[in-house]
Amino acid sequence: LPFLVIDLIVATITMAMGMMMLPPTVVSLPFKLLFFVLIDGWNLIVDGLVRSFF
């Protein structure tokens, strides 16, 4: 859900700036990666996988 919010915000900002030909995913991908690293995403994924088996 947070990644969808990032996409919506970036799409709204790029449209407001008049950059209709620029895909929003090009701009939002670095923000998504930064967010994933800041919330320690790999640790959450591995922890969820390990807990699902035990």
Q: What's the rounded Cα separation, in Å, for the pair 30 and 34?
A: 6
Mean pLDDT of all residues in the chain? 91
Does residue 54 register a pLDDT over 90? no
**26 closest CA partner among 4, 5, 11:** 11
So where are the chain's domains?
2-53
pLDDT band at 45 (very low <50, low <70, confident <90, very high): very high
Q: What's the rounded Cα separation, in Å, for the pair 47 and 23?
A: 33
According to the model, what pLDDT value does residue 2 have?
86
pLDDT band at 25 (very low <50, low <70, confident <90, very high): confident
